[in-house]
Structure 1
Amino acid sequence: MNDPASMCEAARLGLGVAMLALPGVPDLAGGKLVRLLPELHSDVGMISLYYASRRLLPAKTCVFSDFVMENFRQLG
């Protein structure tokens, strides 16, 4: 599956184990799901931003793109 909500639901139904981003798993706090390997984390690889083109790009898209890129530069 490639949909985190579906993966979470499948795990909740007992259909298997799912690897999900922690902020997207509200059922952990309620005890409906259990974190099996708390020491395990995964680097999902490169993150990409897709948009039509730089020409005539809305200002809010440009600001968001610059913000994301700067924050990831600081983390790296």
Structure 2
Amino acid sequence: MTGKVLGVNSPYLAMLLHQNRRRFVLRKLRNLWYTDLFLLKLTYQQKWLRDYFSFDRRYQYIRQLTEHEQQRGRV
């Protein structure tokens, strides 16, 4: 059954909504990654930050977020 919403085919509209949601999720995960890279560069410059920032722990957290989003079908 193909209906129209505002003059646009429903399957096409659903595909566009899914793509936009996927782009938003990927952008969010990418921003987390780039923020961590920035903090990693700071830890090389500031020794006191090494005690508070664990890049490996943050990497595992981002991986878990990515796997969760993949299981939900967003990525």
Task: State whether TM-score is above 0.5.
Answer: no
Q: TM-score, normalised by structure 1?
A: 0.31
Structure with a larger share of its residues in strand: 2
Structure with a larger share of its residues in helix: 2
Q: TM-score, normalised by structure 2?
A: 0.31
For the pair shown, the structure with the greater C-alpha radius of gyration is 2
Q: Which has the higher contact order (CA 8 A, sep 6+)?
A: 2
